[in-house]
Each structure stands twice: as C-alpha cells, then as structure tokens.
Amino acid sequence: MSVLLKDVAEKVNMSITTVSLVLNGKPVRVSEKKRRLILKTASEMDYKPNQAAQSLVTKKTMTIGLIIPDICNLFFSEFVKFVGEKLKAQNYYLLLCNSNHFVDEEINQMELLRMKSVDGMLVIFSDTNADKYVGELEKLKRANIPIVIMDQFEESLDVKGVGVDDELGGYLATRHLIENNHTHIACITGPDYAFSSAKRFAGYCRALEEAGIPFNKDYVFKGDFKFASGELLGAEILKRKEITAVFAENDMMALGLYRAMTKAGKRIGKDISIVGFDDILYTSMLDVPLTTINQNVQDVAENAVSLLLSMVKNQPLGREIHYTRPHLVERDSVARLEKRR
C-alpha cells in the first residue's frame, strides 16, 4: 500500500500542511532540524507525491508531449534523446508519439495530448500544407496549451518554431562537391510533403547556379527519406555514367545509396562521391566515413524545450522562429577530381 502524506506527518508528529510545504520546497516557518527530519522520514518511508492531486492544485501535469514522424530514423531518435534529457533536468515527463508520417495521425495525437492535459507540445510536422494543422492549433490555443514546432515548419503558421537553415545545408553540401571539381551532381530528394526537402533542394540549385553549372532535371531522383529508396535509386544513378557525385537529402538515403554503389563495385570516395545530410551516428562508422551536413540537433532540441517551457511558465506568447546554422562535416566519401568534369 502506498505511503500517504498524512502517514509521513503522523510519523514526524507534525501537521500535513507543514510536511507538504517542506516536501514541495515552499516557504514555511520550521527549524532546519525538523525540515531535515521530514525529508529523511519521507525518503525512508519511500513516500511518492500523488501526481493527480498535485495537478489539481497546480493546474500542471509536468508532462510535455512530443510527436515525431519516424522513430526508426536515427535523426529523430536523437531528437527524442536530447529533448528527454533537457525535460528530465527540468523535472518534466515526456509523452512520446510516433506518427509514421501520417498527417491524420499527427492531428489525432495532438488531440490525444490535449485531452491528456499536457503542459505543452513539441511537434515535428510531416506535411507542407499548413492548412491541415490550423484547426488543431486553434484548439490548442483556446486550451492555453503552448506548442513549439521543430525541424520543419510552414512559416505562415502563427506558432513558435525551432529549426535548421535547410537551404543553407543543401547549398553547403553541393558547394563542397563543386569545390572538388564535380559538375555532374545528382540529388536524391525527400518526399513532396517534407518542408525540409524543398529547402535543401533549393540550396542544391543555388550552388549549381552560383557555379555556372546548368541544372539537369535528369539528375534529380525522388526519394522518401528512407534507406530503401536510397538503395533503389542507386541503381538508377548507375545508369547515368557521367554522374560523379550525389547529394542525398538525408543520411538514411545516403546509406542506402552507399550500399548500392558498394554492391555494384564502386569505390566510395573514389569512383563515386556522396554527401549526406543529418550526421547521424553511423555515418562516421562506415569503412569510408560519410561526408555530411550536421544540423546541430542537440541545439535545436534544447532550444525548443527552453522556448516551450518559457511559454508554459506564462511568458509572452506569439510568433517566434529560431534557425540554427548547419555545418559541413568533411570525411572521406568525396573524391577530388583533377579538373572539373
């Protein structure tokens, strides 16, 4: 049977109010000796506060909801790790939902978290169509539940957001290939519904234009941010003998491409050059480590949590967007050609 607050009070022969104030770190006129006795007794009796009762008093559940599109993608797994660590340090619980890139599921999960009375939400949306989310966002606003959109978001939404400058990331990846004298550069894009894919592709196009390299639509291959699509599209890229380099818009597709090229007998960083995007853990463990774009995911996650908790604590609401700057992580998967070709 669980230990109640009154049990601790009886054990130390003090009032329930005094014991409650001490255990909750509230101001109370009690000697330091008695305060230590209360804390020691509560610990020895393994007293755990009733969260439901506390929520009724404080109007807070100390719970934050997090919705991500794909838990199998290591990039999002890292998000969960850093968000969880930051919340734990602030004594908040994390309630995790995985949408599998389904917008309807994201909306259902937002509604579920709202019904669970979470103190706030962190969400990574899947779709570029902001209209699909407006209704639920309005419900959250009426319920006074703050939300921060992470990673990819439509700037027209009246929300706070924390993300990465994806256009710059795509530009840096492509420019690195150009600086190594590659001109026949393919791009494996993400799905049409992904905000980040369009931005990274824009960066790819900007780098080509800046270098005076004509855009070739036949060098653009439609992926879905998953390993299998990178491997499948690798077979298509191999048919274009003139292609010497590939920018894959995320590391999962880059890893799939890496496998396809290796199976075909191509030497990564010699016969074919690859740049990914995300800098997930495995990219540094390959036989030929992958050059990629680091998104500073820890900074994004921690900034998002800090922003959300400031809103939970009733600091002014409103539209606020924070972008972090990505950077190139140069490893061994890009060959330097003797001259542009």
**302-308-313-317 Cα dihedral, nearest 10 degrees:** 140
User: Is 279 within the bounds of a domain?
Assistant: yes
pTM for the structure as a whole: 0.80
Are 148 and 170 part of one and the same domain?
no
* Sequence-separated contacts (24+) of 256-260 with Cβ below 8 Å: 256/226, 256/227, 256/228, 256/229, 256/230, 256/231, 256/232, 257/188, 257/230, 257/231, 257/233, 258/230, 258/286, 258/290, 258/333, 259/230, 259/231, 259/234, 260/230, 260/231, 260/232, 260/233, 260/234, 260/235
Are 118 and 182 contained in the same domain? no
Tokens, residue 103: 């917008």
For residue 163, the cross-strand partners are: 151, 323
What residues are paired with 275 via a beta bridge?
Answer: 247, 291
For 140, the domain range is 60-164+297-326
Clarify whether residues 64 and 91 are in a common domain: yes
d(CA 290, CA 294): 12
Last residue of a domain, one of 280, 295, 310: 295
In a domain, 336, yes or no: no
Give the pair of three-digit tokens for residue 292. 């990629």
Q: Count the neighbouring beta carbons within 10 Å of the beta carbon of residue 91.
A: 7
CATH of the domain at 190: 3.40.50.2300
Angle at 168 between CA 274 and CA 227, to 5 degrees: 40
In a domain, residue 333? The reply is: no
148 and 177 inside one domain: no
Q: Residues 148, 172: contact at Cβ < 8 Å?
A: no
178 lies in a domain?
yes
In this structure, are 171 and 269 located in the same domain? yes
Q: What is the pLDDT of residue 134?
A: 84
Of 242, 239, 292, the closest CA to residue 264 belongs to 239
pLDDT value at residue 156? 66
pLDDT value at residue 133: 85
170/289 same-domain check: yes
| Count of domains for the chain | 3
Asked whether residue 202 is domain-assigned, the answer is yes
pLDDT, position 155:
64
Q: Tell me, yes or no, whether 187 and 212 share the same domain.
A: yes
Give the chain's residues under pLDDT 50. none
Which amino acid is residue 286, in one-letter code?
L
159 and 172 housed in the same domain? no
* DSSP string of 105-119, one letter each residue: HHHHHHHHHHHTT-S
With b meaning 16 or more CB within 10 Å and e meaning fewer, what string describes 203-221? bbbbbbeebebeebeebeb
User: How much is the pLDDT for 153?
Assistant: 65
Q: Say if strands 292-294 and 220-222 run parallel, antiparallel, or are unpaired.
A: unpaired
Q: How far apart, in whole angstroms, are the C-alpha atoms of residue 227 and residue 109?
A: 26
In a domain, 55, yes or no: no
Q: What is the CA radius of gyration of the chain?
A: 25
Q: Are residues 31 and 76 in the same domain?
A: no
Q: Is residue 124 part of a domain?
A: yes
Whether residues 159 and 170 share a domain: the answer is: no
Q: Are 160 and 212 within one domain? A: no
Residues 28 and 112 in one domain: no
pLDDT of residue 24: 78
Asked if the structure places residue 340 within a domain, the reply is no
